[in-house]
Structure 1
């Protein structure tokens, strides 16, 4: 008779004990990450809190103190979140929290309603409750008020002693003066304002160090590229360090150019390293705040300024969404007037509805739908500008539906944050853009949009030209109104300008000439036969109609 004894094989991993960095068995690694030298005996200790106490008692606490400290912070933030919000974090919010508590700056790309703003508010409270200062930046005055009301509710629920200041243009003159004085004195823990506040009142912020800055809607924030420099200053960077980062970006571009032609890049590489060492030394000697930026669709151009985030805060503006939501999309074939279909849907599903009309139909059609709904007993309002009264009525269920224009710039799409009230969205017509097939436009944004949308209908040679022109147009957009008007006048009068304005004039003139040659009968015929675009004649001019997916997603 033979007896076979089977024993399990165990692994030993070198350098993976989280406390002393020594060797550890696989069993202990799966347990608490502590080797037998740090914590002897059987594996009876079941949580890191007790393990830390034993390590302290035995004078063996080393690297584990930092790791367990992070666990404590994570636990404390989770408890604060639960007290403030009334529910535990979602998995996505837990992931964001861990990154923020590790003091890492990052970007969040996720749809509206998944908890970005709530996370930002609670994280601001967490930092401010530990004697730091936080700044929440939102795109509209209405959102300032909504965030202000929500943060005060969270403070009350959590029993925190946190001072909150908020500022926007809709405050009374007296309230504005009082808030500005508070901000000037630094008499606040959390500041809530729009991105315009940073532009108009940066002199009040320049000497205040913020430990946490949360930018809600980065696209709106980056409309003024100078906001990047400003936010870096209030996070603790000096102007000299920001300039060193800009130098690196310029030098890297020159290094790539020389590498392509086989030139010597050694001296440039040395300059890059010199600037990087300066930045590293500054960061090691100064406490830098963290920056979290968020958006539903990050459409911002990858300009040189945006790359400052990568050089100084070690993150890039993300462009891929972090998740998808469980949303049902339905398309209804038109068997009656659009207004009647909209009314019947609202009658069936009730309040909590946003209605978007196609941008070409504009406010006039929004007013028409509003009148139609009101006559049928549906409490609706047109939301054209930032009207806090309309939002409050909608939130208090005195209004069933808000009506706006389907555009990613629409205040109805970007300007409110009410996931607890918004239940569904109706598009009263396919979100679309209508672009005159003309070469006479002077606005570079409109020219760029038109060229992008006709590119697929051009021949290969023209496509190459298109790519070059698109690249040039992207460099000059968006253009301030006063500069645009000056260039339009110069083009109409046939005069020349100087410096950057002359460069812009040349780009626009080249693009117009390209369109003049490219918009032919053959191209128009291709568009007519296309399944993705259409063309119609309005008052003797051809108009291109294309879908606007960004407006739909936003």
Structure 2
């Protein structure tokens, strides 16, 4: 059964001239008959632009002509960097950046979020002479980003001034990086969330076109770092205070959103801000309002990942032997996550167990580039660490080509002392888990009320 469109004429709806256009032409992705006599169907706006340009009738869609040219250059830059053009969602991210949009990416690891941010920064530096600032959660990922940008420069045969700053640098290297930042003598600057938080005054003065914040949840989990991110994006302390006051009036005065939109347009007119995250968070309403988007949102992807489980043996020795058996069978590219209640001592024991039985392994509790580098180049076959939400193995690695397997040595847990006041977001999660386990409707409602107040 086919569904035919009713014959309709839409006023002021031709995307090229703003005149009348029929429903049939709109359904074909075309423009009105005055702009293009052909009844051809278009599946790409760039093909439509080319046809209009050929007959001399390109009008409102002229901006897509320039975006199309730039997109082809970016696609070629991707191909030279990686061996293939932007794939899947990367294509839409590139187009949005080229249109000057600020937006958030919420997607699981391995879909190319960080690669996209790095290549766009390299493209802006080498092709358009624009500066970029990239913020990572840890010094380890900063170092990995530097190495990947150097590889991109080598493969594309372009040059750009790459500057980075993190706690692992020597004092002379830090001074050199700070001096370059103050003088603006850089094309791409990579740093950590911690540096941004403690150097807001300096970064506010740095002129840049592209700001890419990787793992934005880590940056926004504290109000101080969230404020710092907003300020380097271009907002002032007064802007943040004003928006908070305006939001209090939102229930009785809807025009406050127009005022916030005007402020956003003014501050972000010459910048593109992209937030990237692998998880879903509620986010700050102030950040959402100022930036015009939510840092996190529910996005579902189909992924080629097998989830499996085995019942935990009764004794610890049996559990250790089961882990060893699994690791021997899987062989390489293994991350072992140890519940926080078992402590680092247990993690070190498990790493030694694997090492002693022919599986090169290390326990990793803090940022150690040597151990991560050894895993990345294949010297180590397994890394053991804590199953903590902001732990290094959870958020501190960006080497998806090496990670093949994740083994959880028991169920991940939250840990806090009796009498300690846990963070509100943790209370919400605990209540949600309890409500699910106990099938308790009242607990679920309470968890919902806590989430709404965050």
Interval containing the TM-score (normalised by the shorter chain): 0.7 to 0.9
Q: Which moved more, 1:448-457 or 1:71-80?
A: 448-457
- Distance 1:285-1:469 versus aligned 2 partners, 3 A rule: closer
Aligned: 1:74 with 2:71: yes
1:327 Cα offset (Å): 0.7
- Distance 1:180-1:26 versus aligned 2 partners, 3 A rule: same
Q: Deviations over 1:208-253 (max 9, x none)?
A: 233221111112101331333333333333444443322211222x
Aligned mates of 2:49, 2:187 — CA distance in 1: 31
In the TM superposition, 1:12-411 aligns within 5 A as 13-14=9-10, 15-24=12-21, 29=26, 33-40=30-37, 47-48=47-48, 50-55=50-55, 58=56, 60-128=57-125, 129-252=127-250, 255=251, 265=252, 269=253, 273=255, 276-277=258-259, 280=262, 283=265, 287-299=269-281, 302=283, 306-334=284-312, 337-411=318-392
Aligned mates of 1:318, 1:383 — CA distance in 2: 29
In the TM superposition, 1:486-497 aligns within 5 A as none
Aligned: 1:429 with 2:410: yes
Aligned mates of 2:182, 2:228 — CA distance in 1: 16
Q: Which moved more, 1:446-455 or 1:423-432?
A: 446-455
Aligned mates of 2:5, 2:143 — CA distance in 1: 62
Aligned mates of 1:218, 1:413 — CA distance in 2: 14
1:279 Cα offset (Å): 5.3
- Distance 1:43-1:403 versus aligned 2 partners, 3 A rule: closer
In the TM superposition, 1:491-506 aligns within 5 A as none
1:427 Cα offset (Å): 1.2
- Distance 1:61-1:92 versus aligned 2 partners, 3 A rule: closer
| 1:179 counterpart SS class | helix
Larger Cα Rg: Structure 1 or Structure 2?
1
| 1:193 counterpart SS class | strand
Aligned 8 A contact 2:81 2:152 in 1 = yes
Aligned mates of 1:433, 1:426 — CA distance in 2: 18
Aligned mates of 2:449, 2:24 — CA distance in 1: 62
Aligned mates of 1:44, 1:456 — CA distance in 2: 51
Structure 1: gaps (5+ residues): 1-7, 256-264, 476-554
Q: Deviations over 1:412-433 (max 9, x none)?
A: 1111111011111111222234
- Distance 1:10-1:157 versus aligned 2 partners, 3 A rule: farther
Aligned 8 A contact 1:142 1:388 in 2 = yes
Aligned residues between the structures: 441
1:131 Cα offset (Å): 2.3
Aligned mates of 1:89, 1:170 — CA distance in 2: 33
Aligned mates of 1:144, 1:41 — CA distance in 2: 52
